[in-house]
A = this chain, B = another copy of it.
Amino acid sequence: MSSAAESAEVLEAPDAAPKLKAMRLRLHAQHQSIVVMRTDCHVCRAEGLSQRSQVLVRVRGREVQALLYQLDDGLPPDTVALSEEAWRRLAAQEGDEVQVTHPLIIESLANVRRRIYGHRLDDDAMLSIVKDVAAGRYSEVQLAAFLTASAALPLDESETLALTKAMVAVGERLVWSAPIVLDKHCIGGLPGNRTTPIVVAIVAAHGLIMPKTSSRAITSPAGTADTMETIAPVTLSMADMRRVVGEVGACIAWGGAVQLSPADEVFVRIERELDIDTEGQLIASVLSKKVAAGATHVVIDIPVGPTAKVRSAEAAAHLSQRLTRVGAQMGLTIICLQTDGAQPVGRGIGPALEARDVLAVLQGDESAPQDLAQRASRLAGVALEMGGVATEGQGYALAWETLQNGRAWQKFQQIVQAQGGMRELPLAPHLHSLEAPRAGRVVYIDNRRLARLAKLAGAPESKAAGLLMHVRLGDEVARHQSLLTIHAQSAGELSYALAYWQGEADIIKVI
């Protein structure tokens, strides 16, 4: 079988690989890049590509890793059909020459396997992984393995720092001329805790710089970006962000639209599907975005409660310490505030319903939820003190005054205008009231299951979907009094949420 002739075989250079024509399939598969080729395609045979292979697709110098499906007919010969994501990332044009080959070997997966088996990762190993993740080379299975491994054996402080540095290194970075650049963050887990737009408005009203980027929901029914998007455009480019902050001193943008910490969005998608959110990933996610956004001072809200993400004062203290220490190593001054996480903040849970609360507070509406106004003022107060605008202990009063005198609302309108103008909030067509089964007092509210209920109702994908709360802890209610209203975009989602509520009647406990 082994003959003298065989070693004389000439191998084709990679750029001599046979070319195909690009065709836009107009297939929507979210972030997934997909290519469809004919089952009898000669390139598949020549390259040894089979259905569900990971393939490397090249068009005019750009390349993307994609999942290959094969189709028996329905495609012209010598054609590669591309999903929307592949089309966008390749900036392809109809008829472009396309090369489809095996992807490169992903060397960093050896580090993922080592990590699964309990070996710690150093800076280089972590960077190798994050680089490949940001470049879109990891399959979902591989991403899930990395994230699960870093949850099963939690990242230690040195790995967390390594991950943070790697996540900053693979993205772009904003630089501001101001000596102090503020930022804030909330460690989620508390439905309706939508203080960011209010804090940004208060802080910027005092001339401080606050280029805020926010994420979409990870495991919650709404992220700040989801909520803010119902009020104004949040998909700002880096240039947009610079312009908006230059004009009005602040912005409230979706972090995923800019290439600040691009690996984060990839991780977040998988964490959402797994419904896990670990300390190391959380710290790296938060801090990498703050560093990349050019922040120098950050105030962090840590809600603590039995069903919040952080459940005890001790856990909050541990997280604060690690955030502060890793932050310091990244050059950030960080102040963490423990706040009450026993029940939802405001009345709405879900993007548009939370936006209503935010606008009511900013507009000084007398029915506005006071808990939201107070929490926002507390966080803004710390930021004003860090920014040198208020002396220590005076921040809260100044923040509250800035809300009352309308200056925060005025600044907010400027920000919204600079981002593209105010939108009308959507209203869901399917509403359903959930009633108290008996008269009594509200003694317990389960944040996690409320969040799940809101997600089943369609939040955050359906912007108008979610819950409108009518009661708070300690309230006295009559039998059949409404506890909350489910808002849903579709009958299917409403019935899905109702089925869950019927099985979990003690989400809100009345005794």
Contacts and interface: CB of A to CB of B under 8 A. Distances in A.
Given A3-B431, A11-B491, A116 B26 contact: no
Contacts of A431: 1-3, 6, 9
A7 interface: yes
A70 interface: yes
Contacts of A9: 430-432, 494
Interface in A300-352: none
Candidate in A9, A270, A462 with the most chain B CB atoms within 10 angstroms = A9
A101 to B, nearest CB: 7
A69 B485 CA distance: 32
A239 interface: no
A139 B432 contact: no
Contact of A48 (B30, B153, B462, B468): B462
A71 interface: yes
A207 interface: no
Contacts of A153: 152-153
A7 B12 CA distance: 69
A1 B461 CA distance: 21
A12 B495 contact: yes
Contacts of A73: 26
Interface stretch (A39-47, A185-193, A416-424, A436-444): A39-47
Contact of A6 (B116, B470, B485, B493): B485
Closest 3 CB pairs of A and B: A152-B152, A47-B492, A144-B144
Interface of A: 1-3, 6-7, 9, 11-12, 14, 17, 25-30, 32, 34, 36, 39, 45-52, 69-74, 83, 101-102, 105, 109, 113, 116-118, 139-145, 147-149, 151-153, 270, 273-276, 427, 430-433, 435, 458, 461-462, 468, 470, 482, 485, 487-496, 498, 500
